[in-house]
Structure 1
Amino acid sequence: MKFARTSARLLFAVLLSALPTAIAAPPFASATAANTIAQACGTPLAAAEIDHIVALSNVSTLPASPSLERLEDEVARHQEITEILVRHRDWRGLFSIGLDAVESTAVMPMQRDPDSFGDRDWAHALSSDLLRRYLVNLHAEFTGAPVDPHWAQYFTMSKQCDSPPAEVAMRGYNAHLTVDLAYAVAEAQTKQTHVADFYRIVDSIALQADTIIDRTRDVYSADLGPMWRFYVLGEGLDRLVGEDAGSEALLRAADSGYNTVTLAHGFALQDPRTAPMAETSIASLHESVGGAIGVLSDLGGL
């Protein structure tokens, strides 16, 4: 069984993100806690670099309302964070490097073009909220605060240096695209009139797939190509079913198109009558994709 071609679009939609709440940075409780924050796979970060990441990821210092100005600030901050992580080959940058690539080459050129969208305010709000969600979790990771469960898996694996780095990266994309994007769609109050703009963003990102793959390979020696082919062409899905990892949620997403499923989740989250079911479905799909990534990795697919 193969993933619908439209699934490629969402997978490359690795560029929008954000949470509307800020997490205050607690003081480090101990030297052990500080060392844990400083050390992932790669070389340790200096205290000044950690402080800088904490300041950059503090969303409470951003403009309160979604706007192009706020999005520009978020993207610039994330770029600085990515540069620090990449300099140390810190595995917490395995997702950031691809996100930064797609923001600079696909998302922001469209966001700055007044003719790109039917509703520019909505487009700015969607991309801003999605990026803020990741910044909030980066802030939590580097202050020792609780991280959202779907991001905790990624940050935990970034410290397990015997894991394939491509698998670690894909855990980040799973959190970003399966969970955060659905909630960003809801937060932006997406309507049917915004659907064309949604796919316009996703299509533009699909064109930058090679940039994500190349940058990740060049810096981290991690080949995302096999997993990209898994999403785009469905390669390996039959192997997952044979390993009892092809869950109903994953198969449904494959049939319908991953981006379409996530968009539907975002619509459902906006209605109190369907929101609880949507939350359950999002969690189930995130778990299914995570299981699939793990099995493919064990089978040598990453």
Structure 2
Amino acid sequence: MRPGRLYASVVTLTASLTLLSPGLATADADPSVATACGTPLSTSEIEQIVDLSDTSSLTGSGLTQLEDAIDRHRRITNILVAHRDWRGLFSVGLNAVEYDAVLPLQRDPTALQDRAWAPKISYNLLARYLRNLRAEFTGTPVDPPWANYFALTRQCAASPARVAMAGYNAHLTVDLAYAVDSSGTRHENIPDFYQIVDSIAVKGDSIVTLTKALYGGDLGPLWRFYFLGEGLDRLAGNDAPSRLLLRAADSGYNTITLANGFALQNPQTRPAAEQEIDALWRATDGALQTLSDLGGL
């Protein structure tokens, strides 16, 4: 789905909610779950999100399973964006690149070398977010980086771009490393790994455009921060970048993430890798907050 089509579908859905069900937003959903800086979700909509994010009900494997998960996430995204719920700040960009970058690449029979591994890592990455999203809407424990993101989605005076960046930090720094591990990534998969993540970086304009159009947040610095290092340039002299963050930026986030994922596969190096992943997302989050305070987001 192209960004324009997603935007049109969201506008249509919003209009339908307003014209056909003006009382829907006031249904008796738990206020602590129903609202994150937008209009309240109804009990029915919350139930839909809980059902759609249930990865245990996703059957099949490979590309079919990935396609089903992406379609479910699209439907969740439409609900969140229709209410301008800030929990959709990450979902709207993720949905765009899933359709603009991930699916076209995964469906191309000649684009990737390992046709069994490639959809598995993409699915495992998306599934980690869906599980945390479900935890958010069911009141069960959420992984720390996603708990941080969901907490920020309720800080309505914050910059929407800052909030969205917390989601991308959790996705790129933490979940991608664990997806490298859980998908059984081998060294021969490295070229495919870079092709997948590079296709997402190239389609970053979709994320920037939609986030600004739907939430008023300028995510341009996000891509400069992660992929060009310009975010760290803005932080020079503020003591925000830790040595770990500087090393990640110098080597490239995807390279550090891949290395951490490989380290997770080895029982002897896994504890240190878990500590580094945790330290890196926290350092990145602190740097992003400083960048926001400096007016860079």
Contact 2:100/2:203 (CA < 8 Å) preserved in 1?
yes
Match of 2:276 among 278, 281, 284: 281
Identity of aligned residues (%): 61
1:89 aligns with 2:84: yes
Which residue identity lines up with residue 58 of structure 2 in the other structure? L
Q: Does structure 2 retain, via aligned residues, the 8 Å contact 1:33–1:144?
A: no
Are 1:38 and 2:34 matched, yes or no? Answer: yes
Alpha-carbon distance change, 145 to 33 in structure 1, aligned in 2, over 3 angstroms:
farther
Larger mean CA deviation between 203-212 and 119-128 belongs to 203-212
Mapping for residues 106-117 of structure 1, pairs under 5 Å: 106-117=101-112
Q: 1:256 Cα deviation (Å)? A: 1.1
- Structure 1 match to 2:58: 62
Deviation of 1:257 (Å):
1.2
Structure of higher RCO (CA pairs closer than 8 Å, 6+ residues apart): 1
C-alpha distance in 2 between matches for 1:54 and 1:189: 28
Residue 122 of structure 1 deviates from its aligned partner by: 0.3
Give, in angstroms, the shift of residue 206 of structure 1. Answer: 2.0
Contact 1:71 1:127 in 2 (8 A): yes
Q: One-letter code of the match for 1:232?
A: F
User: Do residues 170 (structure 1) and 165 (structure 2) align?
Assistant: yes
Deviation at 1:164, TM superposition (A): 0.5
TM-score, length basis structure 1: 0.87
Kept after mapping to 1: 8 A contact 2:180/2:258: yes
Segments of structure 2 that go 5 or more residues without pairing to the other structure are: 1-26
Instruction: Quote the offset at 1:33 in angstroms.
Output: 8.4
Q: Give me the CA root mean square deviation.
A: 1.5
Figure out how many residues of one structure are paired with residues of the other and give that number: 271
**Equivalent AA in structure 2 for residue 279 of structure 1:** E
The structure with the greater share of residues assigned to helix is 2
- Tell which deviates more after alignment, 105-114 or 177-186: 105-114
Give the CA deviation at 1:239. Answer: 4.2
Cα deviation per residue 1:111-136 (whole Å; 9 max; x = unaligned)?
A: 11222211111001100101100000
- 2:175 is aligned to 180
Distance 1:230 1:245 in 2: 13
Distance of 2:212 and 2:110 partners within structure 1? 34
Secondary structure of the residue that 1:291 maps to in structure 2?
A: helix
Q: 1:195 Cα shift?
A: 0.3
Aligned to 2:194: 199
Counterpart of 1:99 in structure 2 is 94
Q: Helix, strand or coil for the counterpart of 1:163?
A: coil
Give the counterpart letter for 1:142 in structure 2: F
1:125 corresponds to which residue? 120
Instruction: Report the more deviating stretch, 91-100 or 199-208.
Output: 199-208
Give the Å deviation of 1:32: 10
- Normalising to structure 2: TM-score of the pair? 0.88
1:235: Cα distance to partner? Answer: 2.2
Q: 1:135-190: per-residue Cα shift (whole Å, max 9, x none)? A: 00110111111111110000011011011000000000000000000000000111
Which of residues 143, 149, 154 is equivalent to 2:149?
Answer: 154
Q: Secondary structure at the match of 1:216?
A: helix
Q: Counterpart amino acid of 1:37?
A: V
- Is the deviation greater in 92-101 or in 105-114? 105-114
The one-letter code matched in structure 2 to 1:76 is D
Structure 2 match to 1:50: 46
Distance 1:271 1:188 in 2: 14
State the distance in 2 between where 1:56 and 1:72 align. Answer: 13
Letter of the aligned partner of 2:46 in structure 1?
Answer: I
> Deviation per CA, 1:31-69, whole angstroms, max 9, x where unpaired?
998110001111110111111101101111112x64111
Amino acid at match of 1:39: T
Q: Report the AA paired with residue 67 of structure 1.
A: G
Which amino acid letter does the alignment assign opposite residue 160 of structure 1?
A: Q
